[in-house]
Amino acid sequence: MKFGMKRLLCFCMVALMMTGFVGCSNAGASSKTEQTELKVAYGKDTGVASEKGNGDMLLTIFAGERLVEVVEGEVVPSIAESWEVKDSGKTISFKIKEGLKFSDGSDLTAKEVKLKFDRNIALKNTSWTEVDRIEKIEVPDDYTINFYYKDGMDGYVALAGFAEYGNTIVSPNSFQTPGDPTTPMVKFIGSGSWKVADYVKDQYTTFVPNENYSGDPVKLEKITVSMIKDDEARVLALQSGDVDAVVDYYHGGSAYTPRNLLSALKEEGFQVLKQEMPMTTVLAFNYTNNEAWKNIKLRQALNYAVNKDEISGLFDGWISPANDAYFSDCSPYTTALGKQSYQYDPEKARKLLAESGLTGFSPKMIVNSENADEVKLAELLQSMLKESDINLQLDVMDATKYAEVKKTADWDLCSYYIGGPERRIYSRNEGRFDKTAPEFGSSGCFTSDTIATAVQKAVDPFDEKERKAGFKEFYAAIDAEAACVPLYYDAVFVVANEGVEGIEYIGSEPRFDQVTYKK
């Protein structure tokens, strides 16, 4: 099978536009000054320097590139101009574009590409990178790299894995001992549109244009990304003028602008930009440690007991309720699947609960106190489930304790997520629903042999028609077995001053290459 530039990257572009100035003349509007720097607040450290890591997602998107990308469910070229799948999928051979350079001016060839995968394999950075599938790597010439897969570990999910954040290609000069990828990464030297000019851990990262970038040049002279861990503190920094924009964590699900503050920010004149992602926040069951959750009638009862429209209302409608498929229509092949089986019906929930022999059921939900939205959600669920005679008990704790307790049998429910950023849609679905996947957790979404077989049909085939049929079977399987309770579709937001224009989304990831700013 031969793949080339048969598809262009489809940009989901939303330009942040000014809406006008009430009571201001044209002369007043034109007096605004073109800015050369944008100051951004972000809830995570960018991880420019790391002993074993690969950098934060924002960093890898700003300053890095990967062999391929995933757009609308399809793998498309990036550093690799083409690839060939051989031996029924057991070998994938990439042709690297010629003339590419890292931001330090050094050459980017197949040898440098191999170095990154050598690092991930040596340091066991296997989570979502899919490198644990690889048996060996060969570089027959400067612009060819071949990956050979272990028996039963190939498939489209392996190809899509090359788009993973952790597989971003960096220069050999990024490492403490140049050329030795097993030593700590002391600086991030990639081939993306920006390069790192300055970095102070847990404080800020300064990006400037990469003059060696092979694509269109960026428009700003500098972007400073300040780490502000507290969600509300980021909002205050925007309101006070200390920063010009607040960006959600690129992964989604944490370190984001509280949804119930978005309407107020919009009323204050800030622009609120939203892009839905193929990730759904769900109510997950501790079925591996609690036999009760293996009862399908109990899982179905919970699905009927939840009013998703009311949950959306909790966040002022900024988040879409998961009333349709388990994933929003920005996920691969979700269109025309119709509505899921479970619509809000407390009476049916009570009936199923009685049939399961669990009338008066009092499950315990663990809640991360450091996520204000999660606490609000849990409190709403507690009130809501009473309508179905389910007495939800909340155990609110800090993030450290939460992570420890989640490994035990001392809970029944938690807020969780399925899916993820678009580039992870294959690996994440496999990792959530197939017990043989290395990323499969010990608790969370219910799975079975039927679901696991269906998800492999969705993520393995190289043929698009086969994948489409597989996804349809997979979505139907998790619906039939009530694998979790889908609550709402996640999104990545940017909140910015009115003079910021040109932010683009590729998938669910905001890009700042073509941003201009007047104030």
Token digits for 50?
Answer: 């790391």
State the pLDDT at residue 117.
97
What's at 279, amino acid-wise? Answer: M
What is the DSSP annotation of 169-200? Answer: ---GGGBSSTT-TTSPB-S---SSSEEEEEEE
| DSSP assigned state of 80 | E
427 within domain boundaries: yes
Number of domains comprising the chain: 2
Query: For 395-418, what is the mean pLDDT?
Result: 93
Do 232 and 284 fall within a single domain?
no
Express as a percent the part of the chain with pLDDT over 70: 92
Mean pLDDT of the chain: 91
- 196 phi/psi in degrees, rounded to 5: -80, 125
Do 197 and 232 fall within a single domain?
yes
d(CA 425, CA 70): 9
Do 127 and 209 fall within a single domain?
yes
Query: For 369-395, what is the mean pLDDT?
Result: 95
253 within domain boundaries: no
433 within domain boundaries: yes
- Domain residues for the domain of 85 are 10-20+32-244+497-519
State the pLDDT at residue 443.
62
Do 63 and 186 fall within a single domain?
yes
Do 284 and 171 fall within a single domain?
no
Query: For 471-492, what is the mean pLDDT?
Result: 94
Number of other residues whose CB lies within 10 A of the CB of residue 86: 13
Residue pLDDT, tens place only, 491-510: 999 999 999 999 999 988 99
> Which of 418, 509, 512 is closest to 165 using CA atoms?
509
State the pLDDT at residue 25.
35
What band does 367 get if pLDDT is binned at 50, 70 and 90? very high
d(CA 89, CA 86): 5
Does the pTM surpass 0.85? The reply is yes
Do 346 and 237 fall within a single domain?
no
Per DSSP bridges, beta strands 91-96 and 144-149 are antiparallel
CATH number at residue 477: 3.10.105.10
What band does 4 get if pLDDT is binned at 50, 70 and 90? very low
Query: For 341-365, what is the mean pLDDT?
Result: 94
308 within domain boundaries: yes
Query: For 10-21, what is the mean pLDDT?
Result: 38
Do 419 and 280 fall within a single domain?
yes
State the pLDDT at residue 224.
98
270 within domain boundaries: no
The answer to whether 514 and 218 are in contact (CB under 8 A) is yes
Question: How much is the CA Rg of the chain, to the nearest whole Å?
Answer: 24
> Which of 447, 294, 314 is closest to 374 using CA atoms?
314
State the pLDDT at residue 381.
98
Query: For 381-410, what is the mean pLDDT?
Result: 94
- pLDDT beyond 80 at 115: yes
State the pLDDT at residue 124.
92
State the pLDDT at residue 112.
97
Residue pLDDT, tens place only, 52-72: 889 999 999 999 999 999 998
Separation of first and last alpha carbons in the chain: 52
CATH number at residue 171: 3.40.190.10
- pLDDT beyond 50 at 458: yes
Do 325 and 407 fall within a single domain?
yes
Do 49 and 101 fall within a single domain?
yes
d(CA 278, CA 424): 9
250 within domain boundaries: no
447 within domain boundaries: yes
Per DSSP bridges, beta strands 204-209 and 222-227 are antiparallel
What band does 14 get if pLDDT is binned at 50, 70 and 90? very low
Residue pLDDT, tens place only, 129-173: 999 999 999 999 999 999 999 998 899 999 999 999 999 999 999
Residue pLDDT, tens place only, 228-266: 999 999 999 999 999 999 999 998 888 999 998 999 999
Query: For 423-448, what is the mean pLDDT?
Result: 85
257 within domain boundaries: no
Do 479 and 507 fall within a single domain?
no
The residue among 372 and 364 whose pLDDT is bigger is: 364
Do 315 and 336 fall within a single domain?
yes
d(CA 471, CA 473): 5
Do 56 and 170 fall within a single domain?
yes
Q: Residues 6 or more apart from 22 whose CB is under 8 A from it?
A: none
State the pLDDT at residue 122.
95
